[in-house]
Amino acid sequence: MRVFLCDHCGHPVFFENVACLHCGSALAFLPDRLALCAIEPVGAEAPGLWQPCGGAPADEPRARYRLCHNHAALQACNFAVNASDVHTLCVSCRLTRLLPDLSVPANHERWYRIEVAKRRLYYTLARLGLVSPSVSSHTLEGPVFEFLADQPGAAPVLTGHSAGVITLNVAEADDDERARRRLALHEPYRTLLGHLRHESGHYYWDRLVLADGHVPAFRDLFGDESADYAQALEAHYARGQPAQWQLQHVSAYATAHPWEDWAETWAHYLHMVDLLETAASYGVKLALPGASPGVPEGVDNPFEAGLSDFDQLVAQWIPVTLLLNSLNRSLGQNDAYPFALSTGALDKLRFVHDLIQAARIRA
């Protein structure tokens, strides 16, 4: 995620902010610009409408926006809605069709945390050209979401994807519960954003692999997805982590079934481009310890560089993750990136990269 600058005072502001902490300007994320902007009320002639600070060329009127209903009513969103859009919800919030009971105080906080992660997912998908930030009022792009809580006497809510709908158990928003599940399943990494990225991979398998006719190429790399899914998952949890899974997979869970291998690889690719954009936004320059002396190279913003060169992505990804883990260890924390990418895993990541590139070109 890039770092934004306040249009009013120039100080850094961040994706989740609703006000600049330096000058107090109101902030909103404008999806049609894919930018967090300082905004100001239009005035008495247009109550409830906002416009970006800083003005526009003299011959162009400033764009006007409303704040998302979930900001005005529930303080749970900082996206804006174009004034010409009849929808009251922003392009991210309108993708959520079921919520937990918000009269339960804990559920409001859980929902808020999940929506923050979902907006980050939406940003990355938009930057990759997989959703349009300028959709019409009655068009939905991307998966639909249901955020549900377990109910007494009912079957537990299972996180997963089916027919374009991503379901997430809101208990995953509780740090203690998520840590308990991570340890019970012997996972090195478990986050809300990671869940949403993984499940979005299932959604895009249907669209980029199945619908676009890439199943034979997929099977060459990932295996036969027609293998019984339920049996494969049952066998995976019964046997535990297979030996030497790292040789061909990004995670142990990716060995469960070809669909899970794809979804784990897809999520990993979204990790890559997001972290590299963050590093580039901070002007990070890297020279590995022990490498030949020379001028440190700046990290490229993968979106501005066009995402065309997968090898360049990987060449910058590895030292950035080494730096990230070293910084974490300096603070006594576990590695933020507890993975090592093998040649087999990189071949699968390249497959994801190439399909996204092809989709961008078509778009």
DSSP characters over 65-76:
EEE-HHHHTTS-
Residue 19 falls inside a structural domain? yes
- Which pLDDT does position 43 carry in this prediction? 82
Residue 205 falls inside a structural domain? no
- State the total domains in the chain: 3
Residue 204 falls inside a structural domain? no
Asked if residue 160 and residue 140 are part of one domain, the reply reads yes
- Which pLDDT does position 292 carry in this prediction? 62
Asked if residue 157 and residue 32 are part of one domain, the reply reads no
Asked if residue 145 and residue 67 are part of one domain, the reply reads no
- Which pLDDT does position 225 carry in this prediction? 95
Asked if residue 342 and residue 264 are part of one domain, the reply reads yes
Burial tier of 152 (Cβ tally within 10 Å: 0-12, 13-18, 19+): exposed
Among 197, 198, 195, 155, CA closest to 178:
195
- Which pLDDT does position 157 carry in this prediction? 92
By residue range, what is the domain housing residue 31? 1-87
Alpha-carbon distance 192 to 54, whole Å? 35
Asked if residue 195 and residue 109 are part of one domain, the reply reads yes
- Which pLDDT does position 135 carry in this prediction? 56
Asked if residue 272 and residue 235 are part of one domain, the reply reads yes
According to DSSP, the residues that pair with 285 across neighbouring strands are: 298
Asked if residue 184 and residue 161 are part of one domain, the reply reads yes
- Which pLDDT does position 282 carry in this prediction? 92
- Which pLDDT does position 293 carry in this prediction? 64
Burial tier of 363 (Cβ tally within 10 Å: 0-12, 13-18, 19+): exposed
Residue 34 falls inside a structural domain? yes
Asked if residue 182 and residue 102 are part of one domain, the reply reads yes
Asked if residue 234 and residue 117 are part of one domain, the reply reads no
- Phi, psi angles (nearest 5°) of residue 233: -65, -40
Beta 160-162 vs 50-52: how paired, if at all?
A: unpaired
- Which pLDDT does position 74 carry in this prediction? 87
Domain final residue, candidates 164, 199, 234:
199
- Which pLDDT does position 137 carry in this prediction? 44
Asked if residue 57 and residue 150 are part of one domain, the reply reads no
Residue 20 falls inside a structural domain? yes
In the chain (363 residues long), the average pLDDT of successive 10-residue segments reads: 90 94 94 93 86 66 89 91 91 92 91 95 93 63 89 90 94 90 83 94 95 95 94 87 87 93 96 94 80 74 80 89 94 91 95 92 75
Burial tier of 146 (Cβ tally within 10 Å: 0-12, 13-18, 19+): middle
Asked if residue 83 and residue 15 are part of one domain, the reply reads yes
Q: Which two tokens stand for residue 46?
A: 């247009």
Asked if residue 46 and residue 110 are part of one domain, the reply reads no
Alpha-carbon distance 279 to 282, whole Å? 5
- Which pLDDT does position 237 carry in this prediction? 85
